[in-house]
Structure formats: structure tokens, C-alpha cells
Amino acid sequence: MFDWGILRTEQYDVPVISVGNITVGGTGKTPHIEFLIRLFVEKKYRVAVLSRGYKRKTKGFLLAGSDSSSADIGDEPYQLKQKFPEVTVAVDADRRNGISQLLALEEKLRPNVILLDDAFQHRYVTPSLSILLTDIHYPYYEDALLPVGRLREPASGVRRADIVIITKCSGEMQPIDYRIVMGNVKLCPYQRLFFSNIGYGELYPLFPEVAEARSLSELKSDEDVLLMAGIASPELFVEKIKSHSSKVFPALFADHYNYRPADINRLDSILKKMESPSKLIITTEKDAARLKNATFLPDAWKKLLYALPITVNFQLNKEDDFKEMLIKHVVTVLNNKI
């Protein structure tokens, strides 16, 4: 109905950049959003991130504050606000209303760049630039519509994207591998293709007031690790931890899982049976957003609980090209506004 003009879509006179996907499951949206935040903040733009706040317990438009919890705004917006307190983070299932509310803020908070998180299918808004992510292990061009496959909509929807990023690529890809993907994607002349891979930052404690600083590189091979992950695609995360320890117990949950006291009690029993004198609990940043606010965490866990942040790197030496394209787009939209 959007294609036929029956349903109305709205455009804005500020750069509205959508980051989304065409499949269910994790494609790396949050680390790519973080990449864009760092880019635009570095260039002195006022950035706002607008998400629907998946699984939050609130309704309507809500502006994240220093006292917001993951239950208020959702785990990913909470994670972003914790990492980038200077950035405006808001949630609203109605993206048009959310954008209107952001543009009505006082001048020092009013954004001149808006990032839409997971909005590729939200067609009531036409972004000024649309970035589509697809996992190289489950590329949209080899997939099928739900429930047979993972596609949220027909693969032809990719034509709405201005940029397609093949995510979670291996550092061992050869030139022939890139050429095969390029041939399969079959982009239009107006579209750009990039490849990115997952990188990892340094471990950090969820409760630094009681925990010591730890480095993943200093992890002993025989050190017991309880790994907690409630994300869509935990394989790379598990693989990374296992590359540093041979005694990893993966406790995997559904994406956006809300941990319950029974889950923590069960895992605490497993933790107590681990024999190495030095134990560690490692989780993702998305899970950390939920666990940090959990009132039922055992006190003993606070000394052991760490998060491993992920980052993205662009392959084929295309990071500067990607950044230049994004900045040029923002400058063009803002100049046209003037």
C-alpha cells in the first residue's frame, strides 16, 4: 500500500538515517549505530537515536534520562544512553511522532542528525538515507520469507536501501569471496555495498566499585568462565570467549531475554561447582543492560560479572569512504534545508 501510494509516508528537512535489516535475527544493528554516533559526535553534530524500545514496559514517546532503566526504554536504547550520555536517546513505536517530538525539543537538545534504529520496515517515515544490514552467514539473497526462512518481507525490498552492508564477515575472506557476494547482491546503480566484521573491545565490570579490572587477553586457558548471552546470534561471541579459555560454559537464552530469579539461581549453582580458583561471568553489553538493574543478582556475582563490548570494522579499506559518504549526505541535507 505504501508502494501504491495508498498509505502516506513522511519526510523531514533534517538528515534521518535508518539502520535496519530485512531479516529476523541479529545483523549487528547496535554496533553500527554506535559507529555512526561516534562519527557524527566527532564532527560536532547533535545526534538523536530513536528506537521503538523493544520489550520496554512503558508506552508512547519517552526521552531517556540518566535515571532511565532498561525496563523503561528497552535494553539497546539503555545501552546506548549509558555509553553516550551526551546523545539524545528516545523511544516511540510511532516513529513519526517520535521525530516530531525530537524536533520540538529546546535548541540545545534538538538534533540535526536523527538515527532510526531498526526502522527499515517502518514505512510511515521515508529516511533521507537508508542503511540495510545483512549477515554474511544468512544473506537475504539466499533466504525465504517467514515462516520458511528469515525474511520479514520479500528480498526485492532491498531496493529501498541506499547502502547495503554485509556484516559479520571473516577476516580470512579472499578476493574471490567478495566477488561472489557482489555478484549475488545485484545492487542498483544508486546503491553502495560495504563489508564489515565484528571486533571486540576490552572487558569491563558491571559493578566497578567492587570488581577488579580484567583483560580478556590475560584470561588463563584453564580459568572457568560462565558465559551468558540472550542475543539473536551468539555464535561469534561464544567463539571469541572460547579462544581465550578452554573451560567455558555457555548459558544461551532467547534474544532480549528478561532474566528471572530462577535463571540466576540455576546458573549460580553451576558457578559454584566450577573448580578453578579464579572464575568469571562474561556477558554481552545488551544483556548487561538488563542484568545491571536486576535486584535479584547474588552479591557474589558483582565481583565476577563483566561485559564484552563489540565494535565494527570496515573491510577492503573502505571505512573512510563510508564515513565520507555519510558526512556528505548530512551536509547536503542540512544545506538544502537552509
pLDDT for residue 108: 86
Q: How confident is the model at residue 26 (pLDDT cuts 50, 70, 90)?
A: confident
Q: What is the mean pLDDT of residues 120-140?
A: 95
Candidates 3, 17, 23, 26; CA nearest to 198 is 26
- Three cell numbers at 211? 570488581
DSSP 8-class letter at 217: G
The answer, yes or no, to whether residue 285 has pLDDT greater than 90, is yes
If you classify domain 202-308 with CATH, what class do you get?
alpha beta
Task: Quote the CA–CA distance of 113 and 287 in Å, as a whole number.
Answer: 28
Angle, CA of 85, 86 and 90, to the nearest 5°: 75
pLDDT for residue 101: 97
Q: How confident is the model at residue 218 (pLDDT cuts 50, 70, 90)?
A: confident
* Residues 306-337 pLDDT 10s: 999 999 999 999 999 999 999 999 999 999 86
Domains 16-45+112-199+313-337 and 202-308 share a fold: yes
Q: What is the mean pLDDT of residues 113-129?
A: 95
Map out the domains of the chain as residue ranges: 16-45+112-199+313-337, 202-308
pLDDT > 70: percent of the chain = 99
Q: What is the mean pLDDT of residues 251-278?
A: 92
**Which residues, in sequence order, are CB contacts of 308 under 8 Å at separation 6+?**
200, 201, 203, 216, 237, 240, 241, 282, 283, 284, 285
* Third-level CATH fold of 16-45+112-199+313-337: Rossmann fold (3.40.50)
pLDDT for residue 289: 87
